[in-house]
Amino acid sequence: MPSMTRAQTPEAPATRRRRGTAGGGWKQTTINRAFLVPAVVVFLFLFVVPLAQGLYWSFTDFTGYSPEANFIGFDNYVRILNDPSMLSGLTFTLLFAVGTTVLVTALAIPLAVQLNKAFVGRNFVRSLWFFPAVPSMAILGLVWSYILSPLPSGVLNTLLADWFGIDAVSWLSDNTLARISVILVGVWAQTGWHAVLYLAYLQSIPAEYYEVARIDGASPRQQFFAITLPLLMPAMVVSSFLLLTNGLKVFDLPYTLTNGGPGFATYTITQSLVVTGVGQGEYGLSSALAVMFTVAVGVIGFTQLRVTSRIGRRFA
């Protein structure tokens, strides 16, 4: 043993030297860390500082026109909690976020599986499904407001009347139908994009797995649930996280499709932030709403990540 120790001892400085040469020691470490400085600065000034400023403003009556801001304690928070329109906004925002996340995930995975198969015109069909993700949601909202117009002259109502003799349907003027319409347009717009995301992960699954499964007599359904779905879990974590966070901050689609109506049926938290903050100049109040919303999004996002990671580990 002692001889071994002695034998290793002369190598130790050499190892240190090699590490020093390869990694560059403290000097290299400092240089490496220096490369992080721009990212940290950006994070600090574009995220931490505005967040802290918003937190400060939420306790003031800051209007955005004068630097003067008086401390008013929790008044802004109390106003928000007593406002029925804010609660309506919160309800639909959560409904939209959860609804689009579940539906898009349920549709995008089977779609990706189909798009992964070989057939004539595959690239064209992939592009077709991806297309709704290209225009902005605001433009899609305006177009769909004409398609879903509740008037007999609305595009969809005209088709339903001509083909099936159905009376005009109140797509956007009935509370329930309006909520469903907004969610479905959101699902239509995002499914293709998320299918492409799943497609990328599908293509990384080795074909041998399916070959072996087929030899073992597994049906296509068994292959999907035993191979495809478990190996898509990392993609599901990414996709559902993006869907949930985008759903929670949704503004442009409901704003252009229904303007938050009828009543407050499709009103969102972000619309409330814009109306109160930018429109009315009540930056204190809208900052309080933003702080509450940030906390809520943080909790929901963190919970979602924990749950999907746990499911992912179970399948792994």
- HSE, side-chain direction, 13 A CA sphere, residue 103: 18
Q: Which of 23, 220, 263, 298 binds other proteins (CB under 8 A)?
A: 263
Please state the φ and ψ torsions of residue 180, each to the nearest 5 degrees. -65, -40
Q: Which of 60, 100, 149, 287 binds other proteins (CB under 8 A)?
A: 149
Q: Which of 46, 128, 151, 200 binds other proteins (CB under 8 A)?
A: 151
Cβ-based nearer residue to other proteins, 160 or 311: 160
88 CB-near residues (< 8 Å, 6+ apart)? 263, 264, 265, 267
CA distance 101 to 51: 27
CA distance 309 to 301: 12
The least distance separating other proteins from the CB of residue 280, rounded to whole angstroms, comes to 4
Q: Is 315 an interacting residue with respect to other proteins (CB under 8 A)?
A: no
- HSE, side-chain direction, 13 A CA sphere, residue 111: 22
Q: Which of 125, 161, 259, 300 binds other proteins (CB under 8 A)?
A: 259
DSSP designation for 132: G
Q: Which of 127, 153, 204, 294 binds other proteins (CB under 8 A)?
A: 153
CA 18 to each of CA 14, 15, 191: distance values in angstroms, whole numbers, following the listed order: 6, 5, 51
Q: Is 267 an interacting residue with respect to other proteins (CB under 8 A)?
A: yes
The least distance separating other proteins from the CB of residue 132, rounded to whole angstroms, comes to 22
CA 37 to each of CA 30, 46, 51, 213: distance values in angstroms, whole numbers, following the listed order: 11, 14, 20, 50
Other residues' Cβ atoms within 10 Å of the Cβ of residue 291? 20
The least distance separating other proteins from the CB of residue 177, rounded to whole angstroms, comes to 10
Q: Which of residues 43-72 bind other proteins (CB under 8 A)?
A: 63-67
Q: Which of residues 159-218 bind other proteins (CB under 8 A)?
A: 168, 170-175, 178
Q: Which of 112, 187, 254, 282 binds other proteins (CB under 8 A)?
A: 282
State the DSSP H helix or E strand holding residue 183, giving kind and residue range, or none if neither.
helix 175-202
Q: Which of residues 76-105 bind other proteins (CB under 8 A)?
A: 79, 82-83, 85
The least distance separating other proteins from the CB of residue 71, rounded to whole angstroms, comes to 18
**Binding stretches for other proteins (CB under 8 A):** 63-67, 79, 82-83, 85, 145-146, 149-151, 153, 168, 170-175, 178, 258-264, 267, 274-276, 278-282
